Amino acid sequence: MGLRTCGVIGISAGELAARLNSVSGVDRSLKVEEVLESPAELVHGIGLLIRQLSFSAPAPTASEVAEIVESPACHLLIAREETAIVGTLTLVVFRIPTGVRALFEDVVVDE
């Protein structure tokens, strides 16, 4: 599995996940990782989290999650506790006339 780079922050999304995993005081059973493929269990877990974020937004389909994962502008990160997906966020990186910008979107932590 290869890692994609987030040029705006100068590190790969995988390295960002590794740095988040090493923050002191963080429960060591919690692991953050970049999603590089979209198996069914991942699509299901993200769907459960998105329903906590918005009651009106439908859960993303497998093809929609794959589109996010394959997009060069998006970096989908998930947090796992053991094997359960307990959090997600999408890092969106894009260029505008004044430079490169990044936004965190759809940040959800399991209730």
Confidence class for position 5, pLDDT limits 50, 70, 90: very low
Tell me: the pLDDT tens digits for 60-105? 999 999 999 999 999 999 998 888 899 999 999 999 999 889 899 9
Please tell me the pTM assigned to this model: 0.75
Confidence class for position 32, pLDDT limits 50, 70, 90: confident
- State residue 13's pLDDT score: 64
Residue 51 and residue 77: Cα distance in Å, rounded?
Answer: 17
CB 94 within 8 A of CB 101: yes
